[in-house]
Amino acid sequence: MSVKSLSEKGSESATGSSSDDFNTPEDKALVRKIDLRLLPILTFLYLLSFLDRTNIGNAKIDGLTTDLNVSASEYNTALALYFVAYVIFEVPANIILKRFDPKIWLPSLTLFWGIASVCQGLVKNKAGLFGIRFLLGVAEAGLFPGVIYLFSVYYRRHERSWRVAIFFGGAALAGAFGGILAYAIGKMDGIGGRKGWEWIFILEGILTVAVSLVAYFIVPTWSHEAKFLTESEKKRLLKRLNAESDAGLVEKFEWVYVRQALTDHLVWGYALLFHGFAFVLYSLSLFLPTIIAGLGFATWKAQLMTVPPNSLAALSIWGTVWISSKVNRRAPFIIAAAVVAIIGYIILVATKTAGAQYVGTLFAAAGVYTGNALLLSWPGENVSAQTKRAVAVAMQITIGDIGAIAGVLIYRPNFNGHRFRKPHIIAIGYLLFAILVTLYLSIWMNRENKRRDAVLAESKEEIEPLSSEERQKQGDRSLHYRYVI
């Protein structure tokens, strides 16, 4: 037997039991306790992850490319190598996590990339930069999908999107924090015989290493083994999880669930959706300092002027996703976010003054980051069983980050005429593609939910609730399962 229940048998509706059954003061206190253990440390890890992958944009305008004799096209290659590694190691990292322990795996990844980040500040030539960027991608590949999967075994389905939003908000905060930090660290130019851009990598990498060592004592293990919960709290947690999803079960790894993920058109849809948004997410986050500097602002001003777009993005993420979680809808908000981002890019393309174009970056950042926060929680809510979900989340990031590779290559030197006009137009095309994928997913899932409702309504005999083992086996294909649209 591949699956065993750890809690009392809940109502079978993978969507199912009345939420009021698990919305007692006891449950609210339990969720708050979990939030306080998971969200601060995991969000901070992701903030550091995004900071260490994007601070190269700040280092570039502080002299990195000149000092290492890296041409503009070679700089784009360095950016792309990070995402090549990210794509290659994404799915394997989540398979390892499923068979390993998050309290060891996630801090170890953080330690590895922190060391790699420090090494970025020690490189002496372009070959060293290329190699370190690849290793950084290897190390960071497992964090985001690993955390999203970890959320899925601690929170009920409707509770996950808001937590993912808080977590992903770390990316936007990294952009704001990174601009301020780069400006301050850049003033260390010459100290210890090192350039300001070298200190950006070294000090931010040391911060990551220090936090990773603390994380070993804070990041939790699987929910059924969580030592920060009492036995009664674990029992209650597993009961509320098992009532509506597979999260309250211990699932033995089996390759059949990997195959289910690889052959599910919805899983590919989530991946293609992120592909569209990843193009704009990473091209914008990596090139925002360059774009702003290209508007005519001095280097130090460009560093600081990245703060408002990223701060607005964080506020937009938290506000929009909070509303989305209240109405339990994702697709309309993803489409709306894409439209806001498109408006931002249209402003960047159609206007000529620095002030107007800066307003365009505000719209673009708010829409891009918000859309990503929403779509990245979608497969975690809609894919079952556990291994299938772990692979689906990793596939989403893997295929999505192929879009990131395209983004950093398209924002290349021979396309930067007219302030990146051509790349901005291509970005609009990617966002339109994302809207089409969102429409496909929402229409199909809505029809399937209605079909399952009709089958159950027309059944002459009452369909008995499934056992935990059978529910795990059927996963999101069960007639009782309802997709969050």
Residue 469 banded pLDDT, cuts 50, 70, 90: low
Average pLDDT over residues 4-14: 37
Q: Which residues pair with 20 in a beta bridge?
A: none
Q: Percent of the chain at pLDDT above 70? A: 89
Distance CA 437, CA 271 (A): 10
Token pair recorded at residue 30? 């339990």
pLDDT in the model for residue 375: 94
For residue 261, what are the CA distances in angstroms to 16, 50, 131, 312, 363?
A: 23, 27, 32, 35, 35
Residues 6+ apart with CB under 8 A from 343: 363, 367
pLDDT of 18 above 50? no
pLDDT averaged over the chain? 85
Distance CA 317, CA 454 (A): 36
Average pLDDT over residues 224-231: 88
pLDDT of 417 above 70? no
Return the SS3 of 249. Answer: strand
For residue 16, what are the CA distances in angstroms to 21, 249, 326, 351, 477?
A: 11, 16, 17, 50, 15
Residues 6+ apart with CB under 8 A from 299: 61, 62, 186, 293
pLDDT in the model for residue 78: 93
Residue 125 banded pLDDT, cuts 50, 70, 90: very high
For residue 439, what are the CA distances in angstroms to 374, 401, 415, 429?
A: 14, 21, 31, 16
Residue 7 banded pLDDT, cuts 50, 70, 90: very low
Higher pLDDT, 136 or 383: 136
Q: Dihedrals φ, ψ of 249, to 5°? A: -110, 150
Instruction: List pLDDT tens digits, range 422-461.
Output: 999 999 999 999 999 999 999 999 999 999 888 888 875 5
Residue 12 banded pLDDT, cuts 50, 70, 90: very low
pLDDT in the model for residue 119: 96
Instruction: List pLDDT tens digits, range 133-164.
Output: 999 999 999 998 889 888 888 998 878 888 98
3-state helix, strand, coil in the chain (%, to 5): 80, 0, 20
pLDDT in the model for residue 225: 83
Least confident of 224-233, 322-331, 415-424: 415-424
Q: Dihedrals φ, ψ of 3, to 5°? A: -135, 140
Instruction: List pLDDT tens digits, range 392-410.
Output: 888 898 899 899 899 988 8
pLDDT of 281 above 50? yes
Higher pLDDT, 247 or 148: 148
pLDDT in the model for residue 465: 62
> Is there a contact between 330 and 342 (Cβ–Cβ < 8 Å)?
no
Packed helices 331-350 and 417-458: angle between N→C axes, nearest 10 degrees: 170
Instruction: List pLDDT tens digits, range 306-360.
Output: 889 989 998 999 899 899 988 989 999 999 999 999 999 999 999 888 889 899 9
pLDDT of 468 above 70? no
For residue 70, what are the CA distances in angstroms to 60, 85, 99, 195?
A: 10, 21, 41, 16
pLDDT in the model for residue 40: 94
pLDDT in the model for residue 299: 65
Residues 6+ apart with CB under 8 A from 309: 175, 288, 361, 362, 364, 365, 366
**Site of tokens 């360095």:** 78
pLDDT in the model for residue 386: 75
Distance CA 275, CA 282 (A): 11
Burial class (CB in 10 A: 0-12, 13-18, 19+), 32: exposed
Nearest to 271 by CA among 374, 375, 139, 352: 375
Following DSSP, what letter does each residue of 306-349 receive, concatenated?
Answer: THHHHHHHHHHHHHHHHHHHHHT--HHHHHHHHHHHHHHHHHHH
pLDDT of 30 above 80? yes
- All structural domains of the chain, each given as residue ranges with its CATH number in brackets, are 9-228+244-477 (1.20.1250.20)
pTM higher than 0.85 for the full model?
no
Instruction: Judge if the upstream peptide bond of residue 85 is cis by omega within 30 degrees of 0.
Output: no
Instruction: List pLDDT tens digits, range 51-102.
Output: 898 889 888 888 899 999 999 889 999 999 999 998 888 878 877 887 788 9
Q: What is the DSSP letter of 385?
A: S
Q: Residue 475, by phi and psi: left (phi above 0), alpha (psi -120 to 50) or beta?
A: left
Distance CA 170, CA 162 (A): 13
Distance CA 445, CA 472 (A): 20
Q: Percent of the chain at pLDDT above 90? A: 45
pLDDT in the model for residue 471: 64
Higher pLDDT, 344 or 7: 344
Q: What is the DSSP letter of 475?
A: G
Following DSSP, what letter does each residue of 44-101 receive, concatenated?
Answer: HHHHHHHHHHHHHHHHHHTTHHHHTT--HHHHHHHHHHHHHHHHHHHHHHHHHHHHS-
Residue 245 banded pLDDT, cuts 50, 70, 90: low
Average pLDDT over residues 44-52: 92
